[in-house]
Amino acid sequence: MKLFKKPITIGMNVFLMTFSLASVVLLLTSIVFLTVFTGIVHENIETQAKEINKQIVLNFESYINSIIETADYIQFGSVNLDAETDAATIDSLFRMNTEIKKDMVSIFLFDTAGRKIAGPTLEFATGGSVADKDWFQTALRIPEIYNFSTEQGSSVAENRSEQVITVSRSIRFKRAGREESGVLLLELNYDMITDLARKTNLGEYGHLMILDDQGRLLYTSETGEPRMTLLSAKEASSIFLGSRRVTLWNTDMFINVNTLIQTRWLIATVSNINGIRNAVKRLALIIVLIYSVSIAICATVAAVISLQVSRPVSQLKTAMLKVEEGDFSRQASVSGQTEIVSLAHSFNAMTGKIRELMARLVSQQREKRKMELQVLQNQINPHFLYNTLDSIVWLAEHDRNKDVITTVVALAHFFRIGISKGETFIPVGNEISHVRNYLTIQSIRYVNKFTYDIQVDSRLLGYRVMKLVLQPIVENAIYHGIGDEDDGKIKITGTIENGYMVFRVWNSGYGISEEKIREMYETMRGNPEKPSVGIRNVYQRLKLYYGDEAEVIITSIQDESTTVSLRIPLEPKEERDE
């Protein structure tokens, strides 16, 4: 169950489906095949065993029929003979038939009292007691049939010691012109059963048995193992008629019981059919082998198919994850199933489109920003130019020609750097001299109003920085920081701190309140209602270009000083694009 709690991948699913379907089909096929085969083998072997049994029974039947025929012939031949007057003829008839058939031991005719009417000389010991014999009594009791019996043991004839089967029947005969009842006795050599049974091959421990009407064993061909016969005889006498498959002593046997014609005996053949078990075992082994090989092949094929289906899908999935993370540059390269490949193509077309759209968007944004920057840069110039021209006019009015020259030269420098051939980024050194020019101009305009000092880390000079970021701050310091007071001080520093260039514009003065600082931040961040154009302009330009890394920080100590710090990321000294 735990297996199913996990989400199942397509590949796993395809594999499981294919594999289980194939193994179910294979298993069913194997089982059906084995069952059918076993059935057929059983049927064949049983048919064969039955045929053997039939053949044996037929042999016995034809033998018994020949005996019956002889008996009938004797009977019929003596119908018109008189036991008294034709005694010699009857005797010769009996003798002749005894001689013709080698297994016929003797033929007798007795009257109902057991006295011999015809036949050879009786054995002295048994001769007088014929009437007490079982075969004699039975013949009288059931007159309509021939009675077969083995109870007599050895022959009743003189000098014949062989084991015999007695065939007795009550008949009518003539004596002295009168019809009388009597008993005809034929003695058969017991060996005839052995002779008839010998020809059969019933396999190892297979044997033939004859059971009498009481279920007693009259004969068995099994000579090696008496216990085997004990078991099979018990089985056979419970079958009565027909066949049964049994296991005797771990050996599969097929018992076939048939009647023996003219007798109430049963003849049973016990055939060894262990071969079936071996054949089935062997076949089962082969099937298991075929099954395992097929399952292995099937598993491999299932795995390959599932890989073919799932690999392109998982490739596509990887590509999609990348896109999810924002990487549109990757092309999903998928091979395998056509459907998924075309899906991948569509996906690639889509990401391509998105990438294109994004590129266009970025360039559009950049254009827009550039334009904004330019607009912001251009905002500064008119203010300053107006003020400076105003102070030059003032200087000229007061005939301060030298100052006019200094101012005009500084202004020229100032503008040259300010224009910088239209570039937005200039070396830090240029930016500093730009500020210096500005301060020169302003210090002429506001004589004795402030002094200034510039200290910049020489390492900074090589870096580039967005132009015209310091001047507005300084301008701010002059107009708002120092105010109307004389002897103001302005200090400008440039340092490298933690990978940033930090410019600090410090000025003495009243300082500004916390509230004012908050207002200034607000103004910087975009409240256009407020004045203080310069610092807002710097702030927005820095943010526009450097993003969150650039920062403008205003700190103040009441009645003492104000510091505005610019934190700008250090950029590589090389020229960046634009």
Partner 1 sequence: MNKNPVRQFNFRRPGIVASAVVMIAVVFAFSSCPAHTPAAGIFVYNESDPFMHEFAEQIVRQAKGRFATTLYYANNSQLIQNEQIEAERAKKSDILLVNPVDRLGAFAIIRKMKAENVPVIFFNREPLAADLALWDRTFYVGARPEQSGQLQAHMVIDLFGGNPDAPNEYDRNGDGVIQAILFKGEQGHQDAETRTTEVLRSFEKAGWKVELLGMEIANWNRDEAYSKAGSLLAAWKPALELVLSNNDDMALGVISRMRQEGWFKDSNGNGRIDQKDASWIPVVGIDGIADARESIAEGYLYGTVTNNSLQMAASIVELTEMLLGERSEQELSVPLTDGKYIWVDYQPYISR
Query: Would you say 18 or 155 has its CB closer to partner 1?
Result: 18
Does residue number 266 form part of the binding site for partner 1 (CB under 8 A)? yes
Does residue number 263 form part of the binding site for partner 1 (CB under 8 A)? yes
Q: Between the CA of residue 400 and those of 364, 395, 445, 495, what are the distances in Å?
A: 51, 5, 11, 37
Cα angle: 354, vertex 355, 356; to 5 degrees: 90
CB of 144 to partner 1, least distance (A): 5
Q: Of 58, 405, 553, 557, which lies in the binding site for partner 1, with binding defined by CB under 8 A?
A: 58
Residue 552: which of 570, 531, 538 has the closest Cα?
Answer: 538
Does residue number 24 form part of the binding site for partner 1 (CB under 8 A)? yes
Q: Which stretch binds partner 1 (CB under 8 A): 8-16, 124-132, 416-424, 510-518?
A: 8-16
Q: What whole-number distance in Å separates Cα of residue 127 and Cα of residue 114? A: 9
Does residue number 124 form part of the binding site for partner 1 (CB under 8 A)? no
The two beta strands, 450-456 and 488-497, are parallel
Q: Of 46, 61, 180, 551, which lies in the binding site for partner 1, with binding defined by CB under 8 A?
A: 61
Does residue number 16 form part of the binding site for partner 1 (CB under 8 A)? yes
Instruction: Give residues 136-175 in contact with partner 1 (rule: CB under 8 A).
Output: 142, 144-146
Query: Would you say 263 or 271 has its CB closer to partner 1?
Result: 263
CB of 240 to partner 1, least distance (A): 4
Q: What whole-number distance in Å separates Cα of residue 235 and Cα of residue 268? A: 10
DSSP per-residue string spanning 374-443: HHHHHHHHHHHHHHHHHHHHHHHHTT-HHHHHHHHHHHHHHHHHHHGGG-SEEEHHHHHHHHHHHHHHHH
The DSSP letter of residue 112 is: T
Does residue number 4 form part of the binding site for partner 1 (CB under 8 A)? yes
Does residue number 90 form part of the binding site for partner 1 (CB under 8 A)? no
Q: Which stretch binds partner 1 (CB under 8 A): 68-76, 119-127, 247-255, 441-449?
A: 68-76
Q: Of 45, 71, 404, 466, which lies in the binding site for partner 1, with binding defined by CB under 8 A?
A: 71
Query: Would you say 237 or 523 has its CB closer to partner 1?
Result: 237
Q: Could you give the angle at which helices 338-397 and 428-445 cross, rounded to 10 degrees?
A: 30
Instruction: Give residues 355-384 in contact with partner 1 (rule: CB under 8 A).
Output: none
Q: Which stretch binds partner 1 (CB under 8 A): 75-83, 187-195, 342-350, 451-459?
A: 75-83
The two beta strands, 251-259 and 242-248, are antiparallel
Query: Would you say 167 or 470 has its CB closer to partner 1?
Result: 167
Residue labelled with tokens 């010691």: 161
Phi, psi of 448 (to 5 degrees): 65, 5
Residue 26: which of 404, 245, 370, 301 has the closest Cα?
Answer: 301
Residue labelled with tokens 């005969």: 173
Q: Which stretch binds partner 1 (CB under 8 A): 261-269, 401-409, 411-419, 461-469?
A: 261-269
Residue labelled with tokens 């003596």: 78
Binding site for partner 1 (CB under 8 A): 4, 7-8, 13, 16-17, 20, 24, 50, 54, 57-58, 61, 68, 71-73, 75-76, 79, 142, 144-146, 213, 238-243, 257-259, 261-264, 266
